[in-house]
Structure 1
Amino acid sequence: MKMKYIKLTVVIILLVQVVACTDNILDKSPVSSFSAEGFYKTKSDAQAGVYGIYNAAQSVFRVDFAYWGEGRADNVQTDQSGEGLILMQNNLSESASSADWSALYRMISRANYAIKYIPDVYKDDPSGGAQLVGQAKALRALAYFYLVRVWGDVPLITEPYTSTAQDIFVTKTDKEQVLDQIEQDLTYAATNCVEKFNNEKDRIMVTQGTANALLTEVYMWRHKYSEAVASSQLVLNNPLYSLVSSMDDWGKIFTDGYSKESIFEVGYNDEQTNLLRVLYALGSYAIYTPSEKFKASYESGDRRIPYVYDTTLSDPKAIWKFLGKGVNDEDPSKSHQDIVLIRLADIMLLRAEALAQLGGVENINEALNLLNKIRTRAGLPAFNTEQEAADKYGDLESAILHERSVELCFEGHRWFDLVRTGRAISTMQPLNGLSDEGNLVWPISTNVLNKNPNMEQNDYYK
């Protein structure tokens, strides 16, 4: 039977009760008679503890991957009220649901317990323990990477709460220090995680390839282009990953999951569902539909677009990409498709961008080659020279960013791409008045502020 995601056991439920108390600051567990140290006794316990982190990731990304990565950008529009409209109009406040980071810190809390206690369980098998710790560190890094990109400076917590001597009323840490920790965690994971599991876990659990791909994302966020070139080369050399060739297979990346192009997916199934249908295809209009700007942005003959939305409608009511071409927008059934967070085309285009930034004839030629592999798969003509790309989109970097917008549309990348490349204000100001660098981060939720007297609201929202 195809494994859509890891089934949690009763022992996991016990662990969750210990390390996931949502009423506490940043999901730190209170000291109790049943401690996490008492839980981590066997190797099965250790594996269960890591599964618990993946379970937390399901809750984190089931809807917020789109709110954080698409909701404030230019590829979507909405006719609905609520969170989607708030983000699109840039009317963020501390009451916005996407402003609450609690689920991310729940994920981090579970990772911290695993990182602390798994080595004791694996004293007779250090490498086995290290690969589990590597997964936990990579998942912690993933959570912190979203925290930094969404809120900027955030509390950095790398130890579980095991003593009343520890201060639960934490303060913010400079985002660059958090990013340093992210790099450390991912470097450890890239060394100690398994190369592959030889089954579907290769797509929904962390491998060395996952860690190197996420490192590439982090390096590009920090404009470390040489480092991004090095880490992305490891991903491109990894035999687990290759581009799908046909458009039908391209569509199945999102509807079926587990494709050879996929690097990391958050797995769901009929019991563990997400809100993809609500986001993209439910009711007279989904929360998000393709914006007029997006529909005008792609080139004629692009074979991807009929898999993204109904091109026969001037005002499409749904985004098909994750849910399938021709999806019935009146079907209220819950969505179980995986959310693809990282795939090979994403890393190839980041590598192309890094090479373009570094410059030089050899780098520019490779950047063009990578860009053209994505373009020609979609039925678009290749750019033979850098000047051809510049004639079409202004410069090579803009051509690559445009390709990311179309290839990765609605996958949760567009807002971060705009912020990372310094284009958020110029792109969004004509649409919603965005004008202040301080407004690029989210406000901190009232729920967080009320629980922690030491937590300060982000400056723009004070």
Structure 2
Amino acid sequence: MRLKSNFAAAGLVGLLGLTTLATTSCNKDFIDLNDPTRVPTSETYQDSLSIATGVVAAYSTLQDIYGKLNTNIGLFAFTEVPSDNSYSVVDGQGVGEFEYFTYTSGNGRIQSQWAATYRAVARCNVILSRAPAVKLTAATRNRYLAEVKFIRALAYFDAVQIWGDIPLVTGEIATISDAYTFGRTPAATVYAQIEKDLMEAQADLPVSYTSANDLGRVTKGAARGLLGKVYLTEKKYALAESTLRSFLTDYDNTTYKLQPNYADIFLTTNEVNSEIIFAVRYSKGGLGVGSPFTNFFAPTSAQSGGSGASQYNSARQDLLDAFKASGTADTRAVASYGGPVTVTGQPTYYTKKYMDVPTTTGDGENDWIVLRHADVLLMYAEVLNELARPTEAVPYLNRVRTRAGLAGVATTLSQADLRLQIEKDRRLELNFEGHRWFDLLRTGRALSVINAHFATYQIKVGASVVQLQPFQLLFPLPIQEIQTNPVLTQNPGYN
């Protein structure tokens, strides 16, 4: 089943895991989008075709999480706009509130991200519940279950970094009243479930797929690489080291390798290239599964092929200055951003990683890269350094720097100096790919880095320089969820 084109036939609505399924029928999508309160029926998912389509439906929810026109702006609003990498020129749909940390629990983007997350969880839980009873070969059934375990783990991993303690739903929910019995689960328990899902997933996933129709499906390497990032985020350095080391032992320069030219990573004519471990896939052409990022990030219609330009994610001067400090030899700069373009009298810079000519507004081809080989190399350098092995870490950092046209750093760097160098290179290497805010959270440097950024560039709300407060390291839960579910509580500092 072709993954990208079949997203169009995969729709499902979930409210905190409440699934919305209808019985299959000829010549119609097997899932009913119109009734958000329908309870699953026993007739649904009784054959292999409906299970296969349901797995694709689970994949399609990742478009909602990472960004889709008229559904959800996407994860970048939480991972890039609040960081020192980017800002929103316009305040459309509340995105501008993220750069100043002025959002409230009523912000629509926070609500839509929550809904997208639990829609993904719901679809995965349905497959995990129903597939064991459907007639399938053991290998096929196990692979389907592994794929949705990965998707569920990825959705929860993003969510736990955004909100901290969140409801942990691991089974089908049959009624609305049942849905409202789920309160917040401690983050440590959520992480334990993420680890479990990924460990089980990698056991039953293939290293690669033989059919071009399956390009973009989850692989064994994707599950192992994401598990390594989860361990690193939890500061479980010994487990992170062994997991990432096994990834590199099994896949480095064979299954996955750096693209020789940095800019080639992001070409729509080079999707699912050797560097891509996992990406959320999109396809333009009026199928309803196009990528919105060209339009979301373009400053004017000239950069979006004549279609819309929203300026939701423009490059901050701080990032431009970081590239300038890196030196003119750094090939990542010219591949990462363009400009200046004058908008309302001001010079504006924009990311070039998502440039395409959409068929119509929001219907581009660009995939959203979740995990790539350079990320793994930099993570392995980071974990080795945290284990007080900086000399071993440097060669992995230098492989990424060499590809960027830069000289390697010395193996004599101290642990503290290497820690900062890895942070700098992660920022430049992965800019606009949804890593910066989570990286700063993981290293415990969000408060100091972001507040220094606000002070240096005199970024103000009214007459006062913006200051990130400790409670704002987590986002508020959506007020709609708090008001609807009596057992949900709010993060401290928010109403």
TM range (shorter): 0.7 to 0.9
Q: Which residue of 1 aligns with 2:304?
A: none
CA distance in 2, matches of 1:366, 1:118: 45
Deviations 1:10-29 (A, max 9, x none): 6x55xx3xxx25xx455455
| Structure 1 residue runs without a partner (length 5+) | none
SS at match of 1:318: strand
What is the 5 A alignment of 1:58-457?
Answer: 58-62=63-67, 63-82=73-92, 83-100=94-111, 101-122=114-135, 125-162=137-174, 166=178, 168-200=180-212, 204-236=216-248, 237-238=250-251, 239-252=254-267, 256-270=270-284, 271=287, 272-283=289-300, 286-298=311-323, 299-300=326-327, 301-310=329-338, 315-323=347-355, 334-360=363-389, 364-387=390-413, 395-430=417-452, 431=454, 433-457=466-490
The alignment-based identity, stated in percent, is 26
Q: Report the more deviating stretch, 180-189 or 435-444.
A: 435-444
User: Structure 2 length as normaliser, TM-score?
Assistant: 0.82
Specify whether residues 199 and 305 from structure 1 end up closer, same or farther in structure 2 by C-alpha distance, changes over 3 A only: farther
CA distance in 2, matches of 1:104, 1:93: 19
Deviations 1:196-250 (A, max 9, x none): 1124566521111110011011111101111112221233222321111124423
Deviations 1:100-127 (A, max 9, x none): 20111010001001011111114x6323
Specify whether residues 400 and 199 from structure 1 end up closer, same or farther in structure 2 by C-alpha distance, changes over 3 A only: farther
CA distance in 2, matches of 1:201, 1:209: 19
Specify whether residues 25 and 341 from structure 1 end up closer, same or farther in structure 2 by C-alpha distance, changes over 3 A only: closer
CA distance in 1, matches of 2:202, 2:271: 23
Q: Would the aligned equivalents of 1:119 and 1:126 in 2 still touch at CA under 8 Å? A: no
Q: Would the aligned equivalents of 1:200 and 1:258 in 2 still touch at CA under 8 Å? A: no
Specify whether residues 399 and 200 from structure 1 end up closer, same or farther in structure 2 by C-alpha distance, changes over 3 A only: farther
SS at match of 2:278: strand
CA distance in 2, matches of 1:170, 1:164: 11
CA distance in 2, matches of 1:454, 1:412: 31
CA distance in 1, matches of 2:215, 2:76: 20
Q: Which amino acid aligns with 1:380?
A: L
CA distance in 2, matches of 1:214, 1:447: 31
SS at match of 2:351: coil
Q: Would the aligned equivalents of 2:18 and 2:179 in 1 still touch at CA under 8 Å? A: no
Q: Would the aligned equivalents of 1:209 and 1:234 in 2 still touch at CA under 8 Å? A: no
CA distance in 1, matches of 2:446, 2:145: 36
Specify whether residues 128 and 291 from structure 1 end up closer, same or farther in structure 2 by C-alpha distance, changes over 3 A only: same
Q: Which residue of 2 aligns with 1:7?
A: 6
Higher helix share: 1
CA distance in 2, matches of 1:6, 1:187: 29
Q: Would the aligned equivalents of 1:30 and 1:162 in 2 still touch at CA under 8 Å? A: no
User: Structure 1 length as normaliser, TM-score?
Assistant: 0.88
Q: C-alpha displacement at 1:44, in angstroms? A: 1.4
CA distance in 2, matches of 1:374, 1:33: 50
Q: Which amino acid aligns with 1:218?
A: V
Give the structure, 1 or 2, with the largest relative contact order (CA under 8 Å, sep 6 or more).
1
Q: Which amino acid aligns with 2:482?
A: L
CA distance in 2, matches of 1:245, 1:119: 44
Deviations 1:107-154 (A, max 9, x none): 0001001011111114x6323211111111110111111110000000
Deviations 1:272-321 (A, max 9, x none): 12321233214277222211111111211211111112267793442111
Q: Would the aligned equivalents of 2:83 and 2:450 in 1 still touch at CA under 8 Å? A: yes
SS at match of 1:341: strand
| Structure 2 residue runs without a partner (length 5+) | 23-36, 68-72, 301-308, 455-464
Q: C-alpha displacement at 1:422, in angstroms? A: 0.3
CA distance in 1, matches of 2:177, 2:110: 29
- Give the alignment's Cα RMSD to 1 decimal: 2.7
Q: Which amino acid aligns with 2:333?
A: I
Q: Report the more deviating stretch, 291-300 or 166-175.
A: 166-175
SS at match of 2:337: coil
CA distance in 1, matches of 2:376, 2:354: 20
Q: Which residue of 1 aligns with 2:55?
A: 50
Specify whether residues 186 and 69 from structure 1 end up closer, same or farther in structure 2 by C-alpha distance, changes over 3 A only: same
Q: Would the aligned equivalents of 2:19 and 2:39 in 1 still touch at CA under 8 Å? A: no
What is the 5 A alignment of 1:8-23?
Answer: 8=7, 12-13=10-11, 16=12, 20-21=13-14
CA distance in 1, matches of 2:361, 2:55: 33
Q: Which amino acid aligns with 1:307?
A: A
Specify whether residues 386 and 338 from structure 1 end up closer, same or farther in structure 2 by C-alpha distance, changes over 3 A only: same
CA distance in 2, matches of 1:242, 1:200: 19
CA distance in 1, matches of 2:7, 2:62: 13
Q: Would the aligned equivalents of 2:131 and 2:145 in 1 still touch at CA under 8 Å? A: yes
Q: Which residue of 2 aligns with 1:40?
A: 45
Q: Which amino acid aligns with 1:259?
A: N
Q: Which amino acid aligns with 1:267?
A: R
- Aligned residue pairs, count: 440
Specify whether residues 33 and 436 from structure 1 end up closer, same or farther in structure 2 by C-alpha distance, changes over 3 A only: closer
CA distance in 2, matches of 1:7, 1:30: 17
Q: Would the aligned equivalents of 1:386 and 1:396 in 2 still touch at CA under 8 Å? A: no
Q: C-alpha displacement at 1:421, in angstroms? A: 0.3
